Amino acid sequence: MNELELKDKTAVITGGAGVICSEMARALALQGVRTAIIDLNKEAALKIAGEIEKESGTPSMGLAASVLDKSSLNAAREELISRFGPADILVNGAGGNAASATTKVEMIEGNEELTDTFFGLGIDGFDQVFDLNFKGTLLPTMVFAADMVKRRSGTIINISSMNSYRPLTKIAAYSAAKAAVNNFTQWLAVHFAKTGVRVNAIAPGFLLTNQNRFLLIDEKTGELTARAKKIIGNTPMDRFGTPGELTGTLLYLASGLSKFVTGIVIPVDGGFSAYSGV
Ligand code: NAD
């Protein structure tokens, strides 16, 4: 039996029009998986789905929904069921940080404005980042995993981050929200363990994408920021990763190759989480 066999399965990918998850959807489609690209950005979702269908020859649909709006997710599920049937795979990919939940300085030295530190963070920024990353994982799981539990089969893959293991400076809300995603991954894996539905997560290392560009590239010069140089300096493989480098782990977690694996968070990080910096 080929444990990697995924042909004719159906996957829902939230945030599927984004940099990482569009690549994940492509990788699944190349294995013969029908993909539903769910994104807030309808145009981008339709475009990615069209490209995927063309490239892979596997049906793909773009659906506009917000991972924070259960009724829009329910409507997406109805559409999914009428065209592809229920989801076998759910990738909870919508997520990200916000500038309003990011401090200007890494550590308090004593001579900076307090508003540039923890004290300048807005609770609205915390709400936004917690909602998108945590509730944005919870709600699609409530909507799409019920069919999996009823059919006693399915796999859920949450997208976490390096900052979930040890928080990164500046991004207090995003780090805490991704730590919550890891915790929830373990909780749900246990809760579902007897149902045949597995729950795991991938923690990508550092990639250069839209959500972190403002932290990693100097707007004026286009050069790497000091922070970006520090990241590369702490990544033993000495570079940023690419979205395509996450897809091997995705296929492993989505397929029977990992059939006895549930409740884990796999770092894909060029060695970042293993390195003490010395
Ligand atoms: P991205 O900004 O390219 O993509 C995110 C997508 O989510 C966008 O298409 C956006 O329209 C969509 N989205 C935003 N809010 C939504 C909502 N409420 N409902 C539905 N869709 C919504 O981001 P990315 O870098 O590809 O990140 C994807 C995931 O990977 C996120 O969970 C992110 O936290 C995580 N991640 C990214 C990195 C990185 O270096 N880029 C590293 C670790 C983890």
What does pTM read for this prediction? Answer: 0.96
Report the largest interatomic distance among the alpha carbons of the chain, rounded to a whole angstrom. 64
Q: Where are the beta strands (DSSP E) in 21-163?
A: 34-39, 60-64, 89-92, 154-159
- Mean confidence (pLDDT) of the chain: 96
Half-sphere exposure of 34 (CA within 13 A, CB side): 13
What is the predicted pLDDT for the residue at 1?
A: 74
Provide, rounded to the nearest whole percent, the portion of the chain with pLDDT above 90: 93
On whether the CB atoms of residues 33 and 53 are closer than 8 A, the answer is no
What is the predicted pLDDT for the residue at 211?
A: 66
pLDDT per residue as tens digits for the range 2-38: 888 999 999 999 999 999 999 999 999 999 999 999 9
20 lines ligand 1 (CB under 6 A): yes
pLDDT score of 212 more than 90: no
133/67 Cα distance (integer angstroms) = 9
Positions marked catalytic:
174
Q: Give the residue whose CA is nearest to atom 1 of ligand 1.
A: 18
How open is the CA angle 21-25-28, to the nearest 5 degrees?
A: 135
273 lines ligand 1 (CB under 6 A): no
Which residues does 164 contact at the CB level (< 8 Å), separation at least 6?
175, 178, 179, 181, 182, 203, 265
Pocket test for ligand 1, best of 40, 132, 158 (most atoms within 8 A of CB): 40
Ligand 1 centroid, distance to 178 Cα (angstroms): 12
Average pLDDT for residues 151-176, to the nearest whole number? 97
Q: Which of ligand 1's atoms lies nearest the C-alpha of 243?
A: 26
What is the predicted pLDDT for the residue at 130?
A: 98
Average pLDDT for residues 125-154, to the nearest whole number? 98
pLDDT per residue as tens digits for the range 64-106: 999 999 999 999 999 999 999 999 999 999 999 999 999 999 9
What is the predicted pLDDT for the residue at 26?
A: 98
First to last CA, the chain: 45
Domain covering 10-206+243-274 assigned CATH 1.10.3720.10 in the classification? no
Average pLDDT for residues 214-222, to the nearest whole number? 87
Provide, rounded to the nearest whole percent, the portion of the chain with pLDDT above 70: 100
The DSSP bridge partners found for residue 277 are none
pLDDT score of 135 more than 80: yes
Domain ranges of the chain: 10-206+243-274
Q: Tell which wins on pLDDT, 213 or 191.
A: 191
| Nearest Cα to Cα of residue 93 among 270, 246, 216 | 246
pLDDT per residue as tens digits for the range 219-253: 899 999 998 999 999 999 999 999 999 999 999 99
pLDDT score of 257 more than 90: yes
